């Protein structure tokens, strides 16, 4: 089992603040994905990164894949209540499986 650890596990911030969520592993992945899950729903893909050092931006969200392809971060600028949810990272190696991280539960208080 390739364990992906996310930190922090829980995060509660005020609207307008910035935050960073981390996804770390001792294993190398060929790609890393980030999903957001809202209560009562399944996860929805936000982004896929495949190259070490790659940075992708999605409006106020910035995703980075570590140079060694073992870790990733998600940075949210000026968080809004609509950003509230469970953020999951998922890594794929040469096999046919994605290994999901432990999740970060984000609450943005208006």
Q: Which residues bind other proteins (CB under 8 A)?
A: 1, 4, 6, 9, 30-31, 40-45, 48, 50, 88, 90, 92-93, 96-103
Min dist CB 46 to other proteins, Å, is: 10
Min dist CB 81 to other proteins, Å, is: 22
* Shorter beta-carbon distance to other proteins: residue 15 or 41: 41
Give, as one character, the DSSP assignment of residue 27. S
Min dist CB 15 to other proteins, Å, is: 26
List, edge to edge, every strand of the sheet that includes 19-24: 5-7, 19-24, 71-76, 61-65, 55-58
| Distance between CA atoms of residues 56 and 53, nearest Å | 10
* Shorter beta-carbon distance to other proteins: residue 22 or 100: 100
| Distance between CA atoms of residues 49 and 74, nearest Å | 11
């Amino acid at each position: 089992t390739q364990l992906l650890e996310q930190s922090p596990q829980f995060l509660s911030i005020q609207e307008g603040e910035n935050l960073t969520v981390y996804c770390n592993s001792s294993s190398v992945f060929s790609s890393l994905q980030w999903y957001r899950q809202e209560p009562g729903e399944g996860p929805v893909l936000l982004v896929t990164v495949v190259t070490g050092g790659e940075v992708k931006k999605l409006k106020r969200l910035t995703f980075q894949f570590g140079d060694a392809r073992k870790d990733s971060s998600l940075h949210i600028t000026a968080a809004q209540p609509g950003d509230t949810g469970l953020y999951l990272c998922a890594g794929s190696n040469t096999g046919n499986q994605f290994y999901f991280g432990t999740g970060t539960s984000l609450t943005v208080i208006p």
